[in-house]
Amino acid sequence: MLRTLTRSLRTSAFRLNKNPLIHENGLYYGKFTKEEYEKAKAYVTTQYEKLEKDIKGTEHVREKVGKMPQFPSRAPAKRDITNLLDFFLEMIKTTGHIPLSAYMRQCLTHPEFGYYTTRNPLDATGGDFITSPEISSVFGEMIGIWLYSVWSSQGSPQSIRIVEFGPGKGTLMHDVVVVFNKFVQKSKVPVDIEVVLVEASHILRKEQWLLLCNESTPYETTQDGFNKSVSKWGNKVTWVDTEKDILEAPNTANYVLAHEFFDALPIKSFTKTEHGWREHVVEHTPSVINTQPKLEGASTGEENVAEDLKTEFHLTLSPKETPSSSIPTLSPRYRDLPEGLRIEVCADAEFYLSYICKLVNDYNKGAGAALIIDYGPANEIPSNSLRGIYKHKFVSPFYKPGEVDLSIDVDFENLKLLASPQVDVYGPTEQGDWLHEIGVGYRFDQLIKKANLMANKELIYESYLRLTSKDEKGMGKIYKFMGLLPKHSQRPVGFGVGE
């Protein structure tokens, strides 16, 4: 009504006045006369006051300021956030369901309550899992041999960086550098080696420093906020928060390691429906029973259920499109999949892989390499692989948020498709095959012969089986190796013809 009145008055003024009117004090009234302007202003003010009175009663609302709740009323104070359970409850209460990727990211890297930021997951007494480098130093030795072989085949560049993403306790880097340095000393080829560890957790940084460096060696903080030291073998060691902090060095060849790094990156989960792709999101429902691996089949009211399956959160399929629903449509890989099929997509993996490829190609003389070691299918799209790992067993990923490690199957086929335009890709090759081609059997045979006690011989043999066996107890089949080298490189050892 007010808008109509104002427009009517303005139209009348346009008809009455051909030229803009400027008051003697310089104010511009447009095509209104001063009298018309004041009249319209008074009328509009009266109408606003009348509307305000009709809506809010006989007393003007401004007279009540300080005497009654203001409009809108103040939201109730949020409760103190003391853990991720509280954090997610408040988030869902405020915004509704949350993407699975957001849930995973907070669980793993929240600065106060995240799994990796608040503990050492590989602690010998209270850790939740064990990795190949922790089983036997032979694992890292084989990678050190591979690294030396590739470096030698590329002309032995004299300045190199060994970069590791997600270095854990530093065990793998330790064993790799020990072997690499030994071979370099025997070859008498001069080389300047810098170790770069991409690690955000300051708890794990200290673990890495204790393992790689002498305690007498300073653990310094640079002006940029990074940490640096010197290894036991005289190599410069630098810690950075993210891959973006790795300085460009065009005259230095980069050799990158990523062991069980991609399996901890957040994913999005989708199901193809008759209406298109729909995203799986995280909802809150108290006393939900989450069974593995069919997380979306949660139910309530069941008795005698394992404690680690009782959670307050669960996955549900969004009935409508979300901002991420278009992600699967961007790749022809998902175009012809049938309705009802569920897929997992890791956008973070694509980002990190792109940066790793950049590091491999940074050296302008064709040297550099990357070795990705993780678990997942060689040529299938992961479907429903998200799981929690707690005290060396699988649990619901929604059990004790922030206290449970989260893991997914790596989509090796997608990594290969993404990397191929930028670098030469080798693999994925099963871990057992890769280790045997490098010579792991010969190395373990040496160790068994040197062991004096039969009990020690058996322990060494058990380690060999765990690393190479392809049965359910071994890592030889489920874990894969993928190599990335600059275009037109020589085929590296470990990846047989046809890989």
Secondary structure (H, E, C), 136-186: CHHHHHHHHHHHHHHHHHCCCCCEEEEEEECCCCCHHHHHHHHHHHHHHHH
Contacts of 173 (CB under 8 A, 6+ apart): 140, 162, 164, 167, 195, 197, 208, 212, 257
- Fold of the 132-263+346-376+411-485 domain: Rossmann fold (3.40.50)
Beta-bridge partner residues of 239: 197, 227
Is 83 in contact with 76 (CB distance < 8 Å)? Answer: no
Per-residue model confidence (pLDDT) at position 150: 98
Tell me the pLDDT of the chain (499 aa) as tens digits. 444 444 444 444 444 444 445 455 444 445 556 677 677 777 767 776 766 565 555 544 344 444 444 444 455 555 678 888 888 888 888 888 899 999 999 999 888 888 888 877 666 555 555 788 889 999 999 999 999 999 999 999 999 999 999 999 999 999 999 999 999 999 999 999 999 999 988 889 999 999 999 888 999 998 877 899 999 999 999 999 999 999 889 899 999 999 999 999 999 999 999 999 999 999 987 654 444 443 343 333 333 335 555 678 889 999 999 999 999 999 999 999 999 999 999 999 999 999 999 999 998 789 999 999 999 999 999 999 999 988 888 899 999 998 999 999 999 999 999 999 999 999 999 999 999 999 999 999 999 999 999 999 999 999 999 999 999 889 999 999 999 999 999 999 999 865 5
Per-residue model confidence (pLDDT) at position 124: 52
Per domain, the residue ranges of the chain are: 2-64, 82-118+268-344+381-407, 132-263+346-376+411-485
pTM above 0.85, yes or no: no
Output the six-digit token pair for 354. 């792109």
Q: Please state, in angstroms and rounded to a whole number, the distance separating the CA atoms of residues 483 and 284.
A: 41
HEC secondary structure over 33-66: CHHHHHHHHHHHHHHHHHHHHHHHCCCCHHHHEC
Per-residue model confidence (pLDDT) at position 228: 95
Per-residue model confidence (pLDDT) at position 11: 45
Closest listed residue to residue 147, CA positions, set 487, 488, 481: 481
DSSP state of 359: H
Per-residue model confidence (pLDDT) at position 234: 94
Per-residue model confidence (pLDDT) at position 55: 52
Q: Please state, in angstroms and rounded to a whole number, the distance separating the CA atoms of residues 213 and 236.
A: 10
Neighbours of 208 (CB within 10 A): 25
Neighbours of 410 (CB within 10 A): 28
Per-residue model confidence (pLDDT) at position 314: 87
Measured in Å, how far apart are the chain's first and last C-alpha atoms?
Answer: 75
Q: Please state, in angstroms and rounded to a whole number, the distance separating the CA atoms of residues 415 and 333.
A: 13
Angle 467-232-119 from CA coordinates, rounded to 5°: 60
Contacts of 306 (CB under 8 A, 6+ apart): none
Q: Please state, in angstroms and rounded to a whole number, the distance separating the CA atoms of residues 186 and 360.
A: 26
Per-residue model confidence (pLDDT) at position 393: 85
